[in-house]
Amino acid sequence: MAVLNEKTVTEAINYRRSVRVFTDETIETDKVKSCLKLATLAPTSSNLQLWEFYHITDKTKMKEIASACFNQSAAKTAQQLVVVAARRDLWRKRAKANLEFLTNAFETSLKFDSKRKKMVLNYYGKLIPTLYSTFFGIKGWLVHGFAQVVGLFRPMYRQTRKSDLRIVAHKSAGLAAQNFMIAMAGIDYDTCPMEGHDSLRVKKALGLGKGAEINMVIGCGKRDKKGVYGNRFRVPFEEVYKTVS
C-alpha cells in the first residue's frame, strides 16, 4: 500500500471539507484505492464489516450515477465516485469468516483459556446467528420482546429487530466512509459525501440486489475555489460537550 500520511491526522481533519465543485484535474485511481483500503480499517460492530465500496472511474457509469444524484455539482464535476453500501444481508458470510479466522488463530497464536475461547467462538457461531437471522421479521420481534423483559432485571442489549440491525450496519459503513474521506484529505484529495440520491437508481446502475442499501455516494477530486461554500460553521463546542463527573 502506498504511503499516504502526508498530513497529520489533525491536519487532515481540519483540511477536509465537503467540496461541491471539483476542478478538471485528474486524481490517481491507485491512490483512491489505497484510501479505500484504509476505510476497511474502521471500527465495525462485531467486526462483521457489513459494507462494500464501489469505486467508479468509468465516465459513462459516472454520468449515470450523477444523474441518480440529481446532477448536483459534487457528483457531476467529480473525477471519480465512490458508493458506500451497507450489507446487513452478508452477516452469515462475514460471521463465518470471523469464526474461521479465530479458530485458526486459537490453533496458532491466540492463547486464550478454554472458557474464553468457547465464549468467543459461541459469539460468532451462536449469538450472531440468533441476533441477525429472521423469519419474515417475526424472530427479531420475539428476541426484542425477550430483551425488554430481561432488561427489567439486568443490563441487556435491546437493538435486536431487523430495523435496529440495519442502523448498526449503516453506522459501521459511515465510520468506514469517514476513514476514507480523512485518508483522502491526508493526500490533498477532496471529497463530498452525498445523501441526496435516488438509491434505487444508484443500485440499478451498479447491478445491486435487494440486500444492498446505499449508505452514501462520495464525489472525489481536487477542490475548485468555488467548491467550498465559505468558512466552516459549527455550533459552539460548549453546546455539544458535556462533562460527567
pLDDT attached to residue 183: 97
Residue 234 lies in a domain: no
pLDDT at 139 over 70: no
pLDDT attached to residue 14: 97
* CATH number of the domain encompassing residue 13: 3.40.109.10
Residue 107 lies in a domain: yes
Residue 131 lies in a domain: yes
Residue 236 lies in a domain: no
Residue 176 lies in a domain: yes
Averaged pLDDT for residues 114-135: 87
Owning domain of residue 132: 1-229
Residue 114 lies in a domain: yes
Residue 193 lies in a domain: yes
pLDDT at 210 over 70: yes
> Rounded distance, CA 191 to CA 7, Å?
16
> Rounded distance, CA 129 to CA 140, Å?
11
Averaged pLDDT for residues 165-181: 96
pLDDT at 4 over 60: no
The amino acid present at 221, given as its one-letter code, is: G
Burial (CB count <10 Å: 0-12, 13-18, 19+), residue 243: exposed
> Rounded distance, CA 205 to CA 54, Å?
11
What integer best gives the mean pLDDT of the chain? 92
pLDDT confidence band for 29 (50 / 70 / 90): very high
Q: How many domains does the chain have?
A: 1
Residue 83 lies in a domain: yes
pLDDT confidence band for 138 (50 / 70 / 90): low
In this prediction the pTM is 0.90
Query: Can you give the three-state secondary structure of 173-236, one letter per residue?
Result: HHHHHHHHHHHHHHCCCEEEEECCCCHHHHHHHHCCCCCCEEEEEEEEECECHHHCCCCCCCCC
pLDDT attached to residue 45: 96
